[in-house]
Structure 1
Amino acid sequence: MSTIDGLDEGRVARAGSCRRVTKETSIEASIVIDGSGSSEIDTMIPFFDHMLTQLSKHSSCDISISAKGDIEVDAHHLVEDVGIVLGTIFAEALGDKMGVSRFSSLTLPLDEALVEVSLDLSGRPYLYYGIDFPSSNPLGSPPFDPCLAEEFFRAFCFAGRFCLHLDLRRGKNAHHILEATFKGVARAILMAAARTSMGVPSTKGVLA
């Protein structure tokens, strides 16, 4: 790791990278947590790309993802595996989590949609997913089933080893609900990963 612009002199970049290849998907990705929110994302699914771009922008993480998969079968494999890879490099970038804020909680609006997000960089993965959609009509082309977002977030938080609770307060438009969810998670990451002290925020002395 090396120093990057915007960090105190001598402080290393919190960064991670990974390449994962299976019979179903091939994914290369990298992340810099203390970035500017820039992204280069291509998952073969434009709507998913749009959501991941929101995740990058509003978390201030620089994220690069190049992913290919058997979307002619279903987008499930690709979406879930992107979550696995993103969680893996997020955990790598956080390292021992020295000095992180650890917790975050917020409610984020997008037009009629309102989503509540709570996050804990505990090292103990858990997902509560209370997001329901008024319809399951696919979005974009190739189609993205809104229900696949749950598979992404489950893979992301389990590979990333953090606890995530998502609740829909209200919403009618599936696009708005999903975008509010991704933006809300992004802002929660920005808050929880922020460096605020010199120690590990746990009485155990470790977040693992």
Structure 2
Amino acid sequence: MMRTATVERVTAETKVFVELGLDGTGRAEIATGVGFFDHMLHQIARHGGFDLVVRTEGDLVIDAHHTIEDTALALGTALDQALGDRKGIRRYGDATIPMDEVLVRAAIDLSGRPYIVHEEPELAPYIGPVYPTSMTRHIWESFGQTARMTLHVDVLRGSRPGGRPDAHHVVEAQFKAVARALRDAVYLDPRLAGQIPSTKEAL
């Protein structure tokens, strides 16, 4: 069974194409026009073990908000579609990821019920020239809503004692943690023999 999806999202502000394969090798082709965001989407693919193609054309002349938001919405939709009826998946996944001084925990329930919790320290306003750090929470909200998942992302440690958080490390560790948690949650568990992982018999 090939768990793949292709999603196109076109608005007056953006044009997004996403192709996602859940049972891949971490291959990624990413181009959104926002360099740091591209780097983060590569983390999702590589550490999640997903094959991922993302091509976004957005109104970057205004700012990066629409480009990032609509890409996250399309990626979540692709995940939802690739999961299909969600039979046989582990459903739950979690990961605690260190990145030098930063420690992040992500926990996922592919429950069909969107609920997002996100905790991070105050960060510098931008990473690179165009990625607003305020968008990280919005990425998880947009991605989680369209993927129909419960998602908790918590920065357990953002810096050395008395130090200022390195925004790049804090955000990148979040993407790596979410990727690893997703890898476990989407895994087809042979012990479930194609069953829905819920006593409700529906997700």
User: Does residue 1:201 correspond to 2:197, yes or no?
Assistant: yes
Q: Which runs of 5+ in 1 are unaligned?
A: 1-11
Structure 2 residue corresponding to 1:157, chosen from 144, 152, 155? 144
Structure 2 residue corresponding to 1:189, chosen from 163, 168, 182? 182
Residues 131-155 of structure 1 show CA distances to partners (whole Å, capped at 9, x for unaligned) of: 223322x1123x1011111111111
Structure 2 residue corresponding to 1:30, chosen from 19, 27, 34? 19
The amino acid across from 2:144 in the alignment is C
1:118-137 → structure 2 map (5 Å cutoff): 118-136=107-125
In 2, Cα distance between the equivalents of 1:93 and 1:152? 19
TM-score by length of 1: 0.91
In 2, Cα distance between the equivalents of 1:72 and 1:86? 23
For the 8 Å contact 2:44–2:179, the answer to whether it is kept is yes
The amino acid across from 1:176 in the alignment is H
Structure 2 residue corresponding to 1:140, chosen from 89, 111, 128? 128
User: Displacement of 1:162 after TM fit?
Assistant: 0.4
Structure 2 residue corresponding to 1:166, chosen from 145, 149, 153? 153
Q: Which runs of 5+ in 2 are unaligned?
A: 159-164
1:18-167 → structure 2 map (5 Å cutoff): 18-136=7-125, 138-141=126-129, 143-167=130-154
Aligned structure 1 segments of 4 or more residues deviating by more than 3 angstroms? none
User: Displacement of 1:100 after TM fit?
Assistant: 0.4
For the 8 Å contact 2:116–2:144, the answer to whether it is kept is yes
Residues 145-178 of structure 1 show CA distances to partners (whole Å, capped at 9, x for unaligned) of: 1111111111101000000001111112110011
SS at match of 2:57: strand
In 2, Cα distance between the equivalents of 1:82 and 1:134? 23
Range moving further from structure 2, 181-190 or 65-74: 65-74
TM-score by length of 2: 0.93
SS at match of 1:119: strand
**Which residue matches 2:173?**
180
Calculate the aligned-residue CA RMSD, in Å.
0.9
The amino acid across from 1:162 in the alignment is M
Alignment identity in percent? 39
In 1, Cα distance between the equivalents of 2:154 and 2:178? 11
**Which residue matches 1:6?**
none
In 2, Cα distance between the equivalents of 1:185 and 1:133? 20
The amino acid across from 2:6 in the alignment is S
The amino acid across from 2:175 in the alignment is F
